[in-house]
Amino acid sequence: MSDLIEDPIPGGNAPEYSVTEISGAIKRTVEGAFGRVRVRGEVGRVMLARSGHLYFDLKDQRSVLSAVSWKGQVARLTTRPEEGMEVIATGKLTTFGSQSRYQLNVDDVAIAGQGALMAMLEQRKKKLAAEGLFEPSRKQPLPYLPDVIGVITSPSGAVIRDILHRLRDRFARHVVIWPVPVQGKQCAPEVAAAIAGFNRLTPGGAVPRPDLLIVARGGGSVEDLWGFNEEAVVRAAAASSIPLISAIGHETDTTLIDFASDLRAPTPTAAAEAAVPVCRELQIDVARLEERRRRALAARLETNRRRVRDLGRGLPAPLELVRMREQILDHLRIRLPNALGHSVAAKRAALARLGARMPRRAELFANPAKSVSLLAAQLPRAMERTLAQRQARLLRSAAPLRRANLVQSVAAKRRYFDRVRKSFSIAGATGIERRHTRLASVGRLHDTLGYRQTLARGFAVVFDAEGSVISRAADAGCATRLEIELQDGRLAAKPVTRARNPAKKTGSDGQGQLF
């Protein structure tokens, strides 16, 4: 600091500094004295600026320390600080001269203690579950026998060897490996990129698109497996259109990707077993099904043979069918000459009748004019006869039609009448039944509201001589005769006026008289 000291001002002992000089001196002093430090504390206010820089506070019970991570440092942070987290921040202590304060330039943030780590894990799990990323309805069924399996893991560990060995033993498949680090800062972003990269592959491309994905890693501590709890990995697993199996750690290890995956396997070896069936078992099943198919086919053929034999017994012999047709043919052969003779005779008679109606050919040629006049005279009569014959035939044909129409009309009317009568019968029966039900309901209501039900409970009704109900003691004293109706009948009673001196009217036991 000797280079900042100037000659003392005449008359004074204190040296003089500019603001920039004193700010720079403090900056050099702080950075030189502390250098790179690790600070444990609770994260307070957190703000991500538009520039990409992250500003937050580290605090304990008594003090607050400002912290900043520049844009490039934020991308490399393994844990993004959140308000309320207890963390260990590693960085360089420096000053911010523009506001005369010191701050910690943080390039790494780690969770302070497993308890805080698990609390943050539970908080993140609740947040992602609220968004529906863990819903069972989002999970896809695994393909029974995938052609291509994509494995996302470290290429140098024992995990990939276990998976390949198990796949080879059960059912050899085409495996595509996407190498990623399975712990550390680069684990989460590269695993998320690998899941998204497999999903972007197109079928039939240079790199085959997997039918199934396996994200695998061996066992380790919570910190070692933390990359699979990152939000980016969970969201990539939930958004995968390819079914995904998570096999992170051992059976007791649980990470958030297990909840977002379509199937969680306790170990990488179990993931390989869940991915493909056992080839030998498939061969045994196919052989068993083939045997069942052959037995079923043989049984069906035997059943059809028996059915054909049974049906054949009911059919006549082919020779008998041929002989029957030969007999019919012989009968027709015998009838044919006579039928021809009868047909020729009928045609000749018809021709003779026509010839009789027509003038002779010689007369026609001898006197054509007369023949034409004769034909013209005969034509109207012939037409009239033809019309009369056709009209008579038409009337004979129309008579059955008229009768049929009348019968159909009568039948239709009868059916309509039957439907109407049935409707009236149903409506009458329904109306009577409804009125019976209503009358029974009114009777029950009458019995319920009637005073006789009151008598059955131990009460009584008092009537005077005219049959009117007595409801007051004064009216009973004025009546000449009383009747008391109980449940099983009526009793006659005499009215008694109230005595002026009750003591003189009491009985031997001190009870007053009722009647």
Contact 212, 146 (CB under 8 A): yes
Domain identity same for 91 and 214: no
pLDDT range class, residue 251, cuts 50, 70, 90? confident
Boundaries of domain holding 266: 138-277
| 464 SS3 class | coil
Domain identity same for 149 and 98: no
Contact 515, 484 (CB under 8 A): no
**Tens digit of each residue's pLDDT (9 = 90 or more) over 395-438:** 777 776 666 666 677 778 778 877 877 887 787 778 778 877 87
Backbone angles phi, psi at 265, to 5 degrees: -100, 140
d(CA 515, CA 507): 12
**Tens digit of each residue's pLDDT (9 = 90 or more) over 273-295:** 999 999 998 899 999 999 999 99
d(CA 273, CA 170): 7
pLDDT range class, residue 236, cuts 50, 70, 90? very high
> Quick check: is 122 in a domain?
no
Which pLDDT value is given to residue 115? Answer: 63
> Quick check: is 380 in a domain?
no
How many structural domains are present in the chain?
Answer: 3
**Of the residues 112, 129, 155, which one is the last residue of a structural domain?**
112
Domain identity same for 155 and 263: yes
Backbone angles phi, psi at 102, to 5 degrees: -110, 155
pLDDT range class, residue 2, cuts 50, 70, 90? very low
Domain identity same for 193 and 243: yes
Question: Best-predicted range by mean pLDDT among 81-85, 246-250, 309-313?
Answer: 246-250
Q: How far is CA 249 from CA 12, 107, 257, 269, 419, in A?
A: 72, 29, 12, 11, 81
DSSP state string for 288-319: HHHHHHHHHHHHHHHHHHHHHHHHHHTSPPHH
Domain identity same for 176 and 241: yes
CATH code (residue 58): 2.40.50.140
Mean pLDDT of 96-114: 80
Mean pLDDT of the chain: 81
d(CA 417, CA 396): 32
> Quick check: is 385 in a domain?
no
Evaluate if residue 70 carries a pLDDT over 70.
yes
CATH code (residue 191): 3.40.50.261
> Quick check: is 71 in a domain?
yes
Domain identity same for 239 and 172: yes
> Quick check: is 80 in a domain?
yes
**CA count, 13 A, side-chain hemisphere, 245:** 27
Domain identity same for 269 and 218: yes
In eight-state DSSP terms, residue 480 is S
Mean pLDDT of 344-354: 82
d(CA 171, CA 280): 9
Contact 203, 173 (CB under 8 A): no
> Quick check: is 168 in a domain?
yes
Q: How far is CA 26 from CA 37, 166, 290, 351, 412, in A?
A: 18, 64, 89, 149, 118
Domain identity same for 187 and 254: yes
> Quick check: is 231 in a domain?
yes
Strand partners, 56: 46, 67
Q: Where are the beta strands (DSSP E) in 422-506?
A: 461-463, 469-470, 482-486, 489-493
Domain identity same for 143 and 273: yes
Domain identity same for 144 and 100: no
Which pLDDT value is given to residue 514? Answer: 46
**Tens digit of each residue's pLDDT (9 = 90 or more) over 131-187:** 999 999 999 999 999 999 999 999 888 899 999 999 999 998 999 999 999 988 889
Which pLDDT value is given to residue 264? Answer: 93
Domain identity same for 146 and 269: yes
**Tens digit of each residue's pLDDT (9 = 90 or more) over 204-229:** 888 999 999 999 998 887 778 888 99
d(CA 433, CA 28): 110
Question: Which of 270, 200, 215, 258 has the alpha carbon at shortest distance from 234?
Answer: 258
> Quick check: is 222 in a domain?
yes
Which pLDDT value is given to residue 358? Answer: 60
Domain identity same for 90 and 159: no
Residue keyed to tokens 């701050």: 103
Instruction: Name which residue leads in pLDDT, 496 or 36.
Output: 36
